[in-house]
């Protein structure tokens, strides 16, 4: 009987030489769940995500997706492909995550060719259009190369590419941090729609508690590679137990807060540089 958690991370440690980036992290995520991972720069968030997608191997501990252990290397190309399909990641920086030679349509068609091999040419073509429509890329944008697109448009391509595989879990690592505030809001609304419509399970890594509050039901707070607080997002934000979480919360706007100075906040990272 498969477990009802889509993802289980248990006692995971990652060491890079003398640096321990992730220390004994455990977490689980139910199907259709949404988990925020917050924490200061260098706290191990991306390292944890990279272990979940299988780009990095844990030094110890286990990671299972749909009850299948992925802490050990994949034993076949098919297994590798399945793992890649199950968990997709949208990276912080769309400029480096998209190949400048390919248009959105080409990028998405390629993913469909790998992960949705059952689609014939015309079904693939239809799906490319559907995905572009879903993320709001117009005809020009979907046939342009990344160099001719804005950061927000590129991030839409990255999201469409991630969804093209029909993943069980999508990890967004600071996927809106580099974008300006109005584009952030558009992308966040898009993600909310996708979550509601497809029941996709999300992990959202962000420095920004406002973003996490908007999009996640559960949250873990990381500091120095450890989870120092966890719970329902609304509760953790209402009544944080750990002093670090309190600091984080007090440095971001709350409901009822009037956004007069939002544009003056220089960088998402700066508001929580508390150490």
Ligand X SMILES: Nc1ncnc2c1ncn2[C@@H]1O[C@H](COP(=O)(O)OP(=O)(O)OP(=O)(O)O)[C@@H](O)[C@H]1O
Q: Please check whether residue 136 is in contact with residue 160, taking contact to mean a CB–CB distance below 8 angstroms.
A: no
Joined tokens for residue 271: 């508001």
Among 3, 41, 60, 189, binds ligand X (CB under 6 A): 41
Binding to ligand X by residue 257, rule CB under 6 A? no
b/e sequence 61-98, b meaning 16+ C-beta within 10 Å: bebbbbeeebbeeeeeeeeeebebbbbbbbbbbbeebb
Q: Which is nearer to Mg ion, 132 or 209 (CB)?
A: 209
- Among 47, 97, 141, 201, the residue binding ligand X under the rule CB under 6 A is 47
CA distance 26 to 84: 21
Residue 19 makes contact with ligand X by CB under 6 A: yes
**For Mg ion, which is the closer residue by CB, 42 or 151?**
42
Look at residue 198 and give the partner it binds from Mg ion, ligand X, none, a contact being a CB closer than 5 to 8 Å depending on partner kind: none
Residues 6+ apart with CB under 8 A from 236: 219, 221, 229, 230, 245
Q: How far is the CB of 233 from Mg ion (least distance, A)?
A: 20
Nearer CB in complex with Mg ion: 46/200: 46
Residue 16 near ligand X by CB under 6 A = yes
Pairing status of strand 87-90 against strand 169-173: parallel
- 132 interacts with, out of Mg ion, ligand X, none, CB within 5 to 8 A per kind: none
- Answer with the entry of Mg ion, ligand X, none that 200 interacts with (C-beta below 5 to 8 A by kind): none
Contacts made by residues 108-113, CB under 8 angstroms, sequence distance 24+ = 108/132, 108/157, 108/160, 108/161, 108/164, 111/161, 111/164, 111/165, 112/164
Q: List residues binding Mg ion (CB under 5 A).
A: 46
CA 196 from centroid of its chain's CA atoms: 16
Of 42 and 231, the one with the shorter C-beta distance to ligand X is 42
44 interacts with, out of Mg ion, ligand X, none, CB within 5 to 8 A per kind: ligand X
Q: Which residues bind ligand X (CB under 6 A)?
A: 16, 19, 21, 39, 41-47
């Amino acid at each position: 009987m498969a477990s009802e958690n889509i993802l289980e991370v248990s006692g995971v440690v990652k060491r890079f030489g003398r640096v321990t980036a992730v220390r004994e992290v455990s977490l689980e995520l139910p199907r259709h769940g949404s988990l925020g991972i917050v924490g200061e720069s260098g706290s191990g968030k991306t390292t944890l995500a990279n272990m979940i997608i299988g780009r990095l191997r844990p030094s110890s501990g286990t990671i299972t997706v749909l009850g299948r252990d992925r802490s050990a290397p994949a034993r076949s190309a098919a297994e590798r492909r399945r793992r890649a399909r199950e968990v997709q990641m949208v990276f912080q920086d769309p400029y480096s995550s998209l190949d400048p030679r390919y248009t959105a349509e080409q990028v998405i068609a390629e993913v469909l060719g790998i992960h949705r091999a059952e689609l014939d040419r015309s079904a693939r073509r239809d799906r490319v259009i559907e995905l572009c429509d879903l993320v709001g890329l117009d005809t020009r944008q979907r046939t342009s190369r990344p160099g001719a697109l804005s950061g927000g448009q590129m991030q839409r391509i990255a999201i469409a590419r991630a969804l093209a595989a029909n993943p069980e879990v999508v990890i967004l690592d600071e996927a809106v941090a580099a974008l300006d505030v109005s584009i952030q809001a558009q992308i966040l609304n898009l993600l909310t729609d996708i979550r509601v419509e497809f029941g996709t399970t999300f992990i959202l890594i962000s420095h920004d508690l406002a973003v996490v509050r908007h999009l996640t039901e559960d949250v873990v707070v990381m500091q120095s590679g450890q989870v120092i607080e966890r719970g329902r997002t609304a509760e953790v934000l209402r009544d944080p137990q750990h002093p670090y979480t309190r600091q984080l919360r007090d440095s971001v706007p709350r409901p009822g807060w009037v956004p007069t100075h939002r544009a003056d906040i220089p960088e998402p990272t700066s508001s929580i540089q508390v150490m």
